[in-house]
Amino acid sequence: MRIFINKLLRNDKSLMLAYDQGLEHGPKDLDMKTVDPKYIFDIALEGMYEAIIVQHGVAEKYYQKYYKEVPLVIKLNGKTSMTNIAPISRQLCSVERAIKLGAVAVGYTVYTGSPNEPEIFSEFSKIVETAHDYGMPVIGWMYPRGPGIDERSVDVLAYAARVGLELGADMLKMKYNDNPEGFKWIVKCAGKARVMVAGGDRIDEQHFLQKSEEIMKTGVTGMAVGRNVWQHQYPMAISKALRKIVHHGATTQEAERIYEEEIHKK
């Protein structure tokens, strides 16, 4: 079966911009600038991201012709942070609708270890089947979560990565646990499913770039970041620096130099 994964890659690496936090975390992550999806789409376009990840509602209203150079990934499920239920995030958009909206790939959060695992796995597997019939890659947000689950444990994350591979995901979006050696094993367990690392809470740029360099050395395909880019005062400077690390294997020092040059151009 031919899956068009190349649409998400440049020289076998990938840098994506995630913007579904308005749903997942609420407007507390946003301000007067970042609340406007257009601001984020502009960063994705100018920063030459390999993809922008949004919910279907945002795609429908903001993914205009003008942005077509930025491949679109539609997140098919989602939930707010207000619910107090055992982890589950239901499908809200079909693969067919994502295709109509211009998506080249779809994403879905799989909470391994959740008491709702059976429903989650079954919903995800149907999505994989449908998307693959169209040759469309599927990105699994492989997030271990639930009572008694240690979300940063190497064993738990390696298990989540393996589940992603076994359930047919083509890419796995995972959170980094600050354990470079352990993360290499997690990437191995993912096999041919490519691992993309999420950005996480906003941290200062020096630590973010350092962390990104460390992450890229674990064998991942790239990063799918959100807040550390679009909440930044200089999103283009941080994007260019990050790009150097992800696509050109730059060191933190080299990336910092690019960042400094960019902010002094302003």
Establish if 205 lies at the interface with ligand FBP (CB under 6 A). Answer: no
Establish if 198 lies at the interface with ligand FBP (CB under 6 A). Answer: yes
Question: Which residue among 141, 183, 208, 259 contacts ligand FBP (CB under 6 A)?
Answer: 141
What are the b/e assignments for 79-91, b being 16+ CB within 10 Å? Answer: eeeeeeeebbbeb
Tell me, yes or no, if 143 is annotated catalytic.
yes
From the list 205, 211, 91, the residue with the least C-alpha distance to 141 is 91
Residue 200 DSSP class: -
Compute the residue count for the chain: 266
Beta carbons within 10 angstroms of residue 134's beta carbon: 14
Establish if 200 lies at the interface with ligand FBP (CB under 6 A). Answer: yes
Question: Which residue among 226, 239, 245, 250 contacts ligand FBP (CB under 6 A)?
Answer: 226
Sequence-distant (6+) residues with CB within 8 A of 197 are 173, 174, 175, 176, 215, 220, 222, 223, 224
Q: How far is the CB of 212 from ligand FBP (least distance, A)?
A: 11
Tell me how many residues contact ligand FBP (CB under 6 A).
14
Establish if 50 lies at the interface with ligand FBP (CB under 6 A). Answer: no
Q: Tell me the C-alpha to C-alpha distance, in Å, between residue 46 and each of 38, 40, 49, 61, 108.
A: 12, 10, 8, 20, 26
Tell me, yes or no, if 240 is annotated catalytic.
no
Residue in 19, 63, 108, 143 annotated catalytic: 143
Establish if 140 lies at the interface with ligand FBP (CB under 6 A). Answer: no
Establish if 113 lies at the interface with ligand FBP (CB under 6 A). Answer: no
Q: Which residues bind ligand FBP (CB under 6 A)?
A: 18, 20-21, 24-25, 141, 143, 173, 198-200, 225-227
Which residues participate in catalysis according to the annotation? 143, 173
